[in-house]
Amino acid sequence: MRTLLRIVGVVWTILGIMNITESPSMQAGAKSLIGPEFVILFNVVLFIIPGLVLAGLGSLIKRKSAEKKCPECAELIKREAKICRFCKAEVAE
Ligand SMILES: [Zn+2]
């Protein structure tokens, strides 16, 4: 899931870069209704930023999943913990 999210993010980013380089308005001599500045802006906002966020989100989720919520006191404790460090309750795996 995390890996998939990261792959999607990277692919999305590459797609955005490809859209910029492959865009007709970026090719010499081509006259288009939308200028190259718009194509770059459009793709950066729509593809590259979400792509990078998604790719970065993968590592964020990974970091977050290293912790779990204590069923007794709802504090975040380490996933490997067997006893909650806040309320000392036994925590199931
Ligand atoms: Zn607790």
Confidence (pTM): 0.48
- What is the distance in A from the centroid of ligand 1 to the CA of 67? 13
- What is the distance in A from the centroid of ligand 1 to the CA of 50? 36
If DSSP codes are grouped into helix, strand and coil, which group holds residue 7? helix
Q: Identify whether the C-beta of residue 56 lies closer than 8 Å to the C-beta of residue 74.
A: no
Per-residue pLDDT tens over the stretch 39-90? 788 888 888 888 888 888 766 666 657 889 999 999 999 999 999 999 999 9
Helices (H), 28-85: 36-43, 49-64
Domain ranges of the chain: 2-66
- What is the distance in A from the centroid of ligand 1 to the CA of 92? 12
- What is the distance in A from the centroid of ligand 1 to the CA of 91? 8
